[in-house]
Amino acid sequence: MKPTFSVRLRVFNLNCWDIPYLSKHRTDRMQRLGDFLNFESFDLALLQEVWSEQDFQYLRQKLSLTYPDAHYFRSGLIGSGLCVFSRHPIQEIIQHIYTLNGYPYMVCHGDWFCGKAVGLLVLHLNGLVLNVYVTHLHAEYSRQKDIYLAHRVVQAWELAQFIHHTSKHADVVLLCGDLNMHPRDLGCCLLRGWTGLRDAYVETQDFKGSEDGCTMVPTNCYVSQQDLGPFPLGIRIDYVLYKAVSGFSICCKTLKTTTGCDPHNGTPLSDHEALMATLYVKHSPPQEDPSPAHGPPERSALISVLREAWTELGLGVAQARWWAALAGYVTVSGLFLLALLCALAVGGGAREVAMLLWTPSVGLVLGAGAVCVFHRQEARGLCRAQAELQHVLRRERETQDLGSEPHLAQAD
Amino acid sequence: MKPTFSVRLRVFNLNCWDIPYLSKHRTDRMQRLGDFLNFESFDLALLQEVWSEQDFQYLRQKLSLTYPDAHYFRSGLIGSGLCVFSRHPIQEIIQHIYTLNGYPYMVCHGDWFCGKAVGLLVLHLNGLVLNVYVTHLHAEYSRQKDIYLAHRVVQAWELAQFIHHTSKHADVVLLCGDLNMHPRDLGCCLLRGWTGLRDAYVETQDFKGSEDGCTMVPTNCYVSQQDLGPFPLGIRIDYVLYKAVSGFSICCKTLKTTTGCDPHNGTPLSDHEALMATLYVKHSPPQEDPSPAHGPPERSALISVLREAWTELGLGVAQARWWAALAGYVTVSGLFLLALLCALAVGGGAREVAMLLWTPSVGLVLGAGAVCVFHRQEARGLCRAQAELQHVLRRERETQDLGSEPHLAQAD
């Protein structure tokens, strides 16, 4: 039996842009972030792009009195970059590493090496079970020609599935992070639709901060016009999302963002803007709890989003298979070339040329072989997510045919 | 409100040894497996090592009347090999791919390429929420010198965590699969201790089958003495594990295994033995439900298992770092060698020898570099699991210090 009460939660979220050797004024920004978090004393501070474990340890030590519990989510070669500082004891921890996360040969983008993930913390506050998720999805490097769109949609689906399956016992669900998606992007609609999470920026009555809630703005001196692409006034890609299950209600009393400047010193804490939300959770009888994902229009919208995601992943599969086939042909051609070079070297005529071409040919065969293997694996990963989406759509059709309560009414 | 009733569940589990080009009598065995499953009409048939999607499609078609719902869990390059056939509609599906699964350069073992995973199906039977998990962990190729031990312990921990976090809403939890661990192995104790799952072979009053419940036996013509290693009489590595939450009770009425022979034709269905369990679930008032993981002795045993796992992973981390360092030195040495070869080739003296050695040197640098990167990633993965174990142990210590109800009492 849950008690009748109201709990206030003050939450901080920031993509810290803490990349060793690459990010500007790293040490100074981390120091000021620590001071700010200590000064504000939030219930939870959720950070992304902390790609230096030393910086996490520095913050952990600095914040140890105000935030006694902390966790760094390790993954991939560099790390997920995710960490969390909590005023309340963290009861349980688990993380899920996304199965698709860009391409290893796109070294300049580097997402593949990070092992992007979602971390889950379970907190117990006055008998309330609170599931807090923190994540960072694959970056969008070009809006016009987004080669990572299918991967981001799969990540959004995996995130939604992970939340759906791990939060069935929770009273309140909170998701913070850098989704690298605009509010109306397919992945964002899929995530909100499948989990029933609500957007703090849309829901709050009291918003203060950057125009349209943008979290990358041109007034931030670390942001270039190139980063904003076709949105020179800014983009909103960082979020605080939440929901409460039947029996509880949650509302966002206030939401603030930084506006390209540090709240105290005038220079930004990061290239992203921080989000600061004050949430209130209270006990509410089940019948009074209006859940936005239960009506037929919402269900119909969700089905259309699921279908769109399925189609998008289909395009991704075709693309991945095309690349795998191309790399396969190159591998075979490289093998023929190697055989030819061997013959030339043995024959004697162009021996030196043959030996000079030997190394690049071996490289070609191995490289193309690896690319072929990688894209075959990618196609399989995309097919897997597609099969899950197809299963949901089939279940919904069957349930509708039977005329019973639709299966998709699962926001809580 | 759950109704008062009793549900019978007949479950079949088999590692099918269905590896294209490698397994003997594949087509014939798959045909006979289909016939047997149709004849027996189980509630659920959970299969591992179905590494041919065509064979899954063949079974799906053959079993479509008896088992209207089915799912194949895709992952990795070859696939997880997991699939399921169900007499009841599968409500929901999700899978988790283990983050550590052997080494890509151990091509002869091949586990790395399979993408070993755990699949979850949610079924609703007469209002009962049933979470069914199917899995296959990394093989043990040598009992005496098991280089994959740390990986298997991490997989067992990830499996236990996945079950723990996704089954909080379930009434009954069922796990079937090839764990590649003996009943008293560290990973097996960790899994049972952390989830509270009970072993059908230990619990049942009515067991019929191979001696000591072994699932790889010397009487099976596909099993060599080399497969059994130091256990010539057989090993038990395939399991049916289960638990019910408070309010329900579950018991294993009968458990049968095949005994190296097909039940009808005399030749085995696989190199593993099949498990066939009949389980009964019934409503039972919470106070009457004795849960085996609640007493202080069980908690103390679990803590000692968690500590042992933490230590084992520590050894794994040291080993991974050693390999990463060695590969790093080889990479740097290879780079020096390449520079020397360049100088020799330019100098003219040993030009031909230098050019001949150029390809193996480039191969050495790239290969050692890749091995270094892989083992650094491995060390990070092991550290991540270690951090989760450490968090559990720290929470337990803190709770004990406060003198409150221990945190580890979480079997249901």
Q: Is B22 exposed, middle or buried (0-12, 13-18, 19+ CB in 10 A)?
A: exposed
Q: What is the pLDDT of residue A409?
A: 39
Q: What does the mean pLDDT of chain A come to?
A: 88
CA-nearest of B72, B58, B120, B130 to B95 is: B120
pTM over 0.95: no
- Residue range A339-344: average pLDDT? 84
Q: In sequence order, what are the residues at sequence separation of 6 or more whose Cβ sits closer than 8 angstroms to the Cβ of residue A290?
A: none
Q: What is the pLDDT of residue A4?
A: 61
Q: Which residue has the tokens 């939660």?
A: A9
Evaluate if residue A290 carries a pLDDT over 60.
Answer: no
Q: What is the pLDDT of residue B353?
A: 75
CB contact under 8 A, B76 and A383: no
Q: Is B23 on the interface with A (CB under 8 A)?
A: no
CB contact under 8 A, A380 and B407: no
Q: Is A283 a catalytic residue?
A: no
Is the model more confident about B232 or about A1? B232
- In this structure, are residues B80 and A147 in contact, taking their beta carbons and an 8 Å threshold? no
The DSSP symbol for B87 reads S
Q: What does the mean pLDDT of chain B come to?
A: 88
- Residue range A50-55: average pLDDT? 93
pLDDT tens track for B72-92: 999 888 888 999 999 999 999
- Residue range A318-323: average pLDDT? 95
pLDDT tens track for B283-300: 887 654 444 445 677 788
pLDDT tens track for A133-158: 999 999 888 888 888 999 999 999 99
- In this structure, are residues A53 and A78 in contact, taking their beta carbons and an 8 Å threshold? no
Q: Which residues of B touch A76 (CB under 8 A)?
A: 377, 380
Q: Which residues of B touch A99 (CB under 8 A)?
A: 75, 97
Three-state DSSP at A157 gives helix
**Number of Cβ pairs closer than 8 Å across A and B?**
99
Q: Is A359 on the interface with B (CB under 8 A)?
A: yes
Which of A226-230, A262-266, A271-275 is the least confident region? A262-266
Q: Is B155 on the interface with A (CB under 8 A)?
A: no
pLDDT tens track for B12-70: 999 999 999 888 999 999 999 999 999 999 999 999 999 999 999 999 999 999 999 99
Q: What is the pLDDT of residue A108?
A: 79
Q: Which residues of A touch B358 (CB under 8 A)?
A: 358-359
Q: What is the pLDDT of residue B121?
A: 96
Evaluate if residue B263 carries a pLDDT over 80.
Answer: no
The DSSP symbol for B66 reads T
- Residue range A116-141: average pLDDT? 94
Domain boundaries along the sequence of chain A? 7-288, 296-402
Q: What is the pLDDT of residue B295?
A: 67
Local confidence band at B406 (pLDDT 50, 70, 90 cut-offs): very low
Q: Is A352 on the interface with B (CB under 8 A)?
A: yes
Q: Is B396 on the interface with A (CB under 8 A)?
A: no
- Residue range A322-326: average pLDDT? 95
What span, in angstroms and rounded, lies between the C-alpha atoms of B356 and A288?
Answer: 79
Three-state DSSP at A191 gives helix
Local confidence band at A203 (pLDDT 50, 70, 90 cut-offs): very high
Q: Which residues of A touch B123 (CB under 8 A)?
A: none
Is the model more confident about A65 or about A3? A65
Q: What is the pLDDT of residue B341?
A: 84
Of B165, B169, B380, the CB nearest to A94: B165
Is the model more confident about B78 or about B239? B239
Local confidence band at A291 (pLDDT 50, 70, 90 cut-offs): very low
Homologous superfamily (CATH) of B7-288 is: Endonuclease/exonuclease/phosphatase (3.60.10.10)
pLDDT tens track for B316-351: 999 999 999 999 999 999 999 888 888 887 776 677
What is the greatest pairwise CA distance in chain A? 91
Q: In sequence order, what are the residues at sequence separation of 6 or more whose Cβ sits closer than 8 angstroms to the Cβ of residue B39?
A: none
Which of B138-142, B181-185, B270-274 is the least confident region? B138-142
Of A115, A168, A373, the CB nearest to B169: A168
CB contact under 8 A, A93 and B391: yes
CB contact under 8 A, A165 and B168: no
CB contact under 8 A, B165 and A92: yes
Q: What is the pLDDT of residue B289?
A: 45
Which structure tokens are listed for A88?
């309340």
Q: Which residue has the tokens 């229009």?
A: A297
Three-state DSSP at A327 gives helix
CB contact under 8 A, B71 and A169: no
Closest chain B residue to the Cα of A383, Cα to Cα? B74
